[in-house]
Amino acid sequence: MKNKIETNKDTGDSIVADNASWTFSGDVAKHFDNHVNKSVPFYKEGHDLIAKLSDFYLDADSICYELGCSTGKLCKTLAERHINKAINIIGIDKEKGMIVEANNRCQNNSNVKIINSDLLEMEYNNCDMIISYYTVQFIAPKHRQQLFDQIYQALNWGGAFVLFEKVRASDARFQDVINSLYNDFKLDQGYTPNEIMAKSRSLKGVLEPFSSRGNLDLMVRAGFVDILTIFKYMCFEGFLAIK
């Protein structure tokens, strides 16, 4: 008789979550960087790509927002890349544990400000760049259009919105293939089948990816016309939208 895979609460990297109850609060912030680098392909490379992209949009006195800044790694990367420019980098996150980690990481970067707020409740100043790095997928679908509308309104003309998201495939056949490939990726990172299943169960109703088309539709309805895919690997995609 084959061994039965038992699901449990351990999602790997010392992060524990119950069924349909994944959260970024509690001790998750302490283990987040290690966990996300193993869970999202090319996570660091995505940061590097965005940093290089920012050269085209951030100049003296520019404001750049990162929505869902987590532990502040990207904010710090941007701050150090533009250290000789008077640029204001504003990271926003609603989880206090993440805010603590981000403030600690960026404490020596005077051009970074970390704000504890819900993204939908923020009053955004006019800005030249807004970054959402695997964040919108955790916002309830019924509120996403509101956020995209806020983003479009906040950007100056010619400003950039950078959106990275986990995406669903265009049909069930491709989705099956992508799911299998992604599970193989996580196994290659050292996660056990139990941990992969526990993480999947914990994300039910919490992580709600849209398809590429769904994300494009949100941007178009907000007012964006010029949109380009700048990254694509399995079920992960990055977009650049210019106002």
Residue (of 125, 133, 150) closest to 63 by Cα position: 125
pLDDT at position 13: 59
DSSP 3-state assignment of 72? Answer: coil
Query: Which segments of the chain does DSSP mark as H helices, in order?
Result: 28-39, 43-54, 73-81, 96-105, 141-154, 172-188, 193-202, 212-222
Sheet holding 155-166, edge to edge: 112-116, 88-93, 63-67, 127-133, 155-166, 236-242, 226-233
Q: Which residues of the chain have pLDDT under 70?
A: 1-18, 20-26
The pair phi, psi for residue 241, each rounded to 5°, is: -120, 130
**Quick one: tokens of 221?**
């309805």
180 CB burial (10 A radius; 0-12, 13-18, 19+): exposed
From CA 66, how far away is CA 68, in angstroms rounded?
Answer: 6
pLDDT tens track for 206-236: 899 999 999 999 999 999 999 999 999 999 9
The arrangement of secondary structure in 40-168+209-242, i.e. its CATH architecture, is 3-Layer(aba) Sandwich (3.40)
pLDDT at position 213: 98
DSSP 8-state class, residue 211:
B
**Quick one: tokens of 72?**
């502040």
Sort strands 112-116 and 226-233 into parallel, antiparallel or unpaired: unpaired
Taking residue 99's Cβ as centre, other Cβ atoms within 10 Å add up to 22
pLDDT at position 28: 76
**What is the secondary structure of 8-70 as a DSSP string?**
-SB-STT-B--TT---S-TTHHHHHHHHHHHHSTTHHHHHHHHHHHHTTT--TT-EEEEES-T
196 CB burial (10 A radius; 0-12, 13-18, 19+): buried
pLDDT at position 2: 44
What are the extents of the domains in the chain? 40-168+209-242
- Cβ contact 213:221 at 8 Å: no
Residue (of 148, 153, 91) closest to 117 by Cα position: 91
Q: Residues with Cβ < 8 Å from 241, sequence gap 6 or more?
A: 160, 161, 162, 163, 219, 224, 226, 227, 228
pLDDT at position 19: 74
